[in-house]
């Protein structure tokens, strides 16, 4: 155990084979350029995100009325967009269509609510006519 105290543990183990390949300097330079472009793109994204968040925060404050300019017309806030108008109109048209088709809808629901009875064939209870039976005889083969 006395030898373990004198062993240097910080020494790195290297292979005895020398490195035969050198790195391609053009490839190394291209990799560094890509890393730099990626770093710049990340910084631009962070900057754009911060600007977007500031714009959203300002719009939220304006909607609350905190930064409402005094010259703004209050009637403009209540106007529906084109998409909202189209959706309201489509709902109204569908309700009107259902109103005019109500008779057909009523008959469909009435048929489903009242089970239809199967029609039975009429039965005639009169007895069949009586046939007279004749006696059977053996016929001669003459």
Q: Could you give the CA distance from residue 130 to residue 125 in angstroms, rounded to a whole number?
A: 15
How many residues appear in the chain? Answer: 142
Number of neighbouring beta carbons within 10 Å of residue 18: 6
Query: Three-state SS string across 75-130, please?
Result: CHHHCCCHHHHHHHHHHHHHHHHHHHCHHHHHHHHHHHHCCCCCCCCCCCCCCCCC
CA angle 59, 60, 61 (to 5 degrees): 90
Q: Please tell me the predicted confidence (pLDDT) of residue 106.
A: 83
Q: Are 133 and 140 in contact (CB under 8 A)?
A: no
Show pLDDT as tens, one digit a residue, over the chain (142 residues): 455 566 666 777 777 777 677 889 999 999 999 999 999 999 999 999 999 999 999 888 888 875 545 555 555 566 778 899 999 999 999 998 888 888 887 888 877 766 666 677 777 777 777 777 666 677 777 6
Three-state SS for 17? coil
Q: Please tell me the predicted confidence (pLDDT) of residue 77.
A: 61
CA dihedral for 107, 108, 109, 113, sign (positive or negative): positive
Q: Please tell me the predicted confidence (pLDDT) of residue 62.
A: 85
Q: Please tell me the predicted confidence (pLDDT) of residue 90.
A: 96
Domain ranges in the chain are 24-70, 80-113
pTM: 0.31
Q: Are 92 and 84 in contact (CB under 8 A)?
A: no
Q: Please tell me the predicted confidence (pLDDT) of residue 16.
A: 75
């Amino acid at each position: 155990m006395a030898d373990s105290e004198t062993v240097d543990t910080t020494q790195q183990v290297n292979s005895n084979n020398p490195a035969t390949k050198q790195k391609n300097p053009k490839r190394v330079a291209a990799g560094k350029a890509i890393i730099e472009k990626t770093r710049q793109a990340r910084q631009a994204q962070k900057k754009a995100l911060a600007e977007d968040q500031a714009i959203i925060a300002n719009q939220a404050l304006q909607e609350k009325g905190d930064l409402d300019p005094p010259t703004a017309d209050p009637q403009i806030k209540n106007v529906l967009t084109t998409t909202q108008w189209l959706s309201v109109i489509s709902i109204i048209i569908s309700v009107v269509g259902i109103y005019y088709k109500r008779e057909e809808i009523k008959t469909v629901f009435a048929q489903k609510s009242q089970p239809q009875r199967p029609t039975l064939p009429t039965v005639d209870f009169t007895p069949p006519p009586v046939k007279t039976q004749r006696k059977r005889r053996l016929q001669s083969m003459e």
